[in-house]
A and B are shown apart, each in its own frame.
Chain A
Amino acid sequence: MVSDKELEAVEQIVNGVITDESLAEGDVLINCLHEIQNHFHNFVPLEAAEKVAEILKVPESSVYEVLTFYTMFSVEKRGKYVIRVCNSLPCHVTGGKEIIETLKKELGCDFSQTSKDGLFTLEETGCLGLCGVSPVIMINEEFYGNLTHDKVLDIINNIREEERG
Chain B
Amino acid sequence: MRMKIQTVLVSVDSSSALRGARQFKKHIEENVKKYQLSDMVEVLETGSLGVYKDGVIVAVYPEEVFYEINSTDDAEQLVTEHFLKGRIVKDLMIDKSVIKHEKKETGKLDREERIVLKNVGVIDPGAIEEYIARDGYMALAKVLKEMKPENVIDVVKKSNIRGRGGAGFPTGMKWEFTAKADNPEKYVICNADEGEPGTFKDRLIMEGDPHSVVEAMTIAAYAVGANKGYIYIRGEYYGSIDNIRKAIKDAYEIGLLGEDIMGSGFSFDLSVRLGAGAYICGEETALIESIEGRPGRPRLKPPYPPVEGLYGKPTVVNNVETFSNIPWIINNGPEAFKALGTEGSSGTKVFTLVGNIINRGLVEVPMGTSIFDLIYKYGGGIPNGKKLKIVQTGGTAGTFMNTKKLEIGLDYDSAKEGASLGSGVILCMDEDSCAVDCAKTVMEFFAHESCGKCTPCREGTRVSVKLLDKISKGQGREEEVEQLLMIADVMEQTSFCGLGQSAAIPLRTIVQSFRDEFSDHVQKKPCNACTFVEPKKKKRSKR
Instruction: Name A's B-contacting residues (CB within 8 A).
Output: 21-24, 26-31, 33-34, 56, 58, 62, 65-66, 69-73, 84, 87-90, 92-94, 97, 101, 124-134, 138, 141-146
Q: A142 — which chain B residues lie within 8 A by C-beta?
A: 18
The verdict on B290 contacting chain A, using a C-beta distance below 8 Å, is yes
Q: Is the CB of B276 within 8 A of A30?
A: yes
User: In the complex, which residue of chain A has the Cβ closest to the Cβ of B311?
Assistant: A24
Q: Is the CB of B15 within 8 A of A58?
A: no
Q: A72 — which chain B residues lie within 8 A by C-beta?
A: 235-236, 276-277
Q: Is the CB of B52 within 8 A of A94?
A: no
Given contacts A31-B274, A72-B277, A132-B361, contact A89 B396 (CB under 8 A): yes
Q: B444 — which chain A residues lie within 8 A by C-beta?
A: 87
Q: Is the CB of B15 within 8 A of A127?
A: no
**How far is A129 from B311 in the complex, measured between Cα atoms in Å?**
30
Q: Is the CB of A131 within 8 A of B274?
A: no
Q: Is the CB of A130 within 8 A of B15?
A: yes
Q: Is the CB of B200 within 8 A of A131?
A: yes
Instruction: Name B's A-contacting residues (CB within 8 A).
Output: 14-15, 17-19, 52, 54, 194-200, 202-203, 228, 230, 234-238, 269, 271-279, 290-296, 310-311, 352, 354-356, 360-362, 392, 396, 425, 427, 429-430, 433, 438, 441-442, 444-445, 448-449, 451, 532
Q: Is the CB of B354 within 8 A of A134?
A: yes
Q: B195 — which chain A residues lie within 8 A by C-beta?
A: 126-127, 129
Q: A146 — which chain B residues lie within 8 A by C-beta?
A: 19, 54
22 contacts between A and B (CB under 8 A): A24-B310, A29-B293, A31-B273, A31-B274, A62-B293, A69-B295, A72-B236, A88-B197, A89-B445, A126-B195, A127-B196, A127-B198, A127-B396, A129-B199, A131-B197, A131-B199, A132-B354, A133-B15, A143-B14, A143-B15, A145-B18, A146-B19
**How far is A94 from B236 in the complex, measured between Cα atoms in Å?**
21
Option from B52, B293, B296 in Cβ contact (under 8 Å) with A133: B52
Q: B438 — which chain A residues lie within 8 A by C-beta?
A: 89, 92-93
Q: Give 13 new A-B contacts, CB below 8 A, not counting A129-B200, A131-B352.
A: A30-B290, A34-B235, A69-B296, A72-B236, A89-B198, A89-B392, A126-B195, A127-B197, A129-B202, A129-B234, A131-B200, A131-B355, A133-B52
Q: A27 — which chain B residues lie within 8 A by C-beta?
A: 230, 273, 291-293
Q: A130 — which chain B residues lie within 8 A by C-beta?
A: 14-15, 200
Q: B15 — which chain A residues lie within 8 A by C-beta?
A: 130, 132-133, 143, 145
Minimum CB–CB distance from B196 to chain A (whole Å) comes to: 7
**How far is A21 from B230 in the complex, measured between Cα atoms in Å?**
10
Q: Is the CB of B360 within 8 A of A93?
A: no
Option from A30, A34, A92 in Cβ contact (under 8 Å) with B293: A30
**How far is A34 from B428 in the complex, measured between Cα atoms in Å?**
35
Given contacts A72-B235, A89-B441, contact A66 B295 (CB under 8 A): yes
> Which A-B residue pairs are the 6 nearest by beta carbons?
A70-B276, A29-B293, A88-B197, A69-B295, A127-B197, A72-B277
Q: A131 — which chain B residues lie within 8 A by C-beta?
A: 197-200, 352, 354-355, 360
**How far is A56 from B197 in the complex, measured between Cα atoms in Å?**
34
Given contacts A21-B272, A65-B294, A126-B197, contact A87 B18 (CB under 8 A): no
Q: B19 — which chain A residues lie within 8 A by C-beta?
A: 133, 145-146
**How far is A92 from B442 in the complex, measured between Cα atoms in Å?**
10
Most buried by A among B235, B292, B296: B235
Q: Is the CB of B356 within 8 A of A93?
A: yes
Q: B14 — which chain A residues lie within 8 A by C-beta?
A: 129-130, 143
Q: Is the CB of B200 within 8 A of A132?
A: yes
Minimum CB–CB distance from A67 to chain B (whole Å) comes to: 9
**How far is A146 from B276 in the complex, measured between Cα atoms in Å?**
25
Q: Is the CB of B449 within 8 A of A126?
A: yes
Most buried by B among A33, A127, A134: A127
Minimum CB–CB distance from A146 to chain B (whole Å) comes to: 7
Given contacts A89-B441, A90-B354, A131-B198, contact A73 B427 (CB under 8 A): no
Q: A22 — which chain B residues lie within 8 A by C-beta?
A: 271
Q: B290 — which chain A residues lie within 8 A by C-beta?
A: 30
Option from B194, B269, B295, B427 in Cβ contact (under 8 Å) with A90: B427
Q: Is the CB of B18 within 8 A of A144?
A: yes
Minimum CB–CB distance from A29 to chain B (whole Å) comes to: 3
Q: B429 — which chain A residues lie within 8 A by C-beta?
A: 93
Minimum CB–CB distance from B164 to chain A (whole Å) comes to: 15
**How far is A42 from B429 in the complex, measured between Cα atoms in Å?**
36
Minimum CB–CB distance from B453 to chain A (whole Å) comes to: 11
**How far is A142 from B292 in the complex, measured between Cα atoms in Å?**
29
Q: B196 — which chain A residues lie within 8 A by C-beta?
A: 127
Option from B271, B293, B355 in Cβ contact (under 8 Å) with A21: B271
User: In the complex, which residue of chain A has the Cβ closest to the Cβ of B239?
Assistant: A143
**How far is A29 from B274 in the complex, measured between Cα atoms in Å?**
10
